[in-house]
Chains A and B, each alone.
Chain A
Amino acid sequence: NAGVTQTPKFRILKIGQSMTLQCTQDMNHNYMYWYRQDPGMGLKLIYYSVGAGITDKGEVPNGYNVSRSTTEDFPLRLELAAPSQTSVYFCASSYGQPTTNEKLFFGSGTQLSVL
């Protein structure tokens, strides 16, 4: 199993450009999450999904959009990139609710710089 796969690993954007960060999992997980992590800081929840067709906002959703058309994929869209979105983005998934006896599996991250 590949687990949680994120692409690309690195990306540099110019201010105002848009891009999609890809996240796919092959574990048939229902729950998927997007986090961002600024240098030296903790994880901030951007968006999450509890199943195909269901998404909801996290702590810091402004400037981002998501969709969940399939169980496997949970792409994160940046429409108008801003320097404040420079960060490392992590996608995570779990079969059930992670606060029960489940565990989160994380991808290796996408390092994004907006210049």
Chain B
Amino acid sequence: LAKTTQPISMDSYEGQEVNITCSHNNIATNDYITWYQQFPSQGPRFIIQGYKTKVTNEVASLFIPADRKSSTLSLPRVSLSDTAVYYCLVGDKAAGNKLTFGGGTRVLVKP
């Protein structure tokens, strides 16, 4: 049973904003929502994390509605180098420390 649901892939063009929504209906009360980025042949790396409302850093913004059942990663003005797989990660009360990733969203930025 998947804990998170994301689109499999998204295409965009340089300079556009990319928004990726992740559904996590069973998120635990104390859990944060974390997004990771993975380039080909590399390990994933942390890009942003939040608990509620909006978080922004130099790379992205994260929007979390009040019910916290979903979150949206926003990548402003993407470039070719933003082509990667993006994973949304939340906890699962039933799984405890068994930290599993969903399938991720493959973002392709075209010139």
Interface of A with B (CB < 8 Å)?
Answer: 4, 31, 33, 35, 41-45, 48, 50, 56, 58-59, 88, 90, 92, 97-101, 103-109
Contacts and interface: CB of A to CB of B under 8 A. Distances in A.
Interface of B is mostly: loop
A104 B42 contact: no
Given A41-B103, A101-B32, 19 more contacts: A42-B103, A43-B87, A56-B98, A90-B43, A98-B34, A99-B34, A99-B91, A99-B99, A100-B31, A101-B49, A103-B34, A103-B49, A104-B36, A104-B89, A104-B99, A106-B45, A108-B43, A109-B41, A109-B43
Interface residues of B, number: 26
Given A100-B30, A101-B49, A108-B43, A48 B98 contact: yes
Contacts of A59: 98, 100
B100 A45 contact: yes
Nearest to A92: B43
A92 B101 CA distance: 13
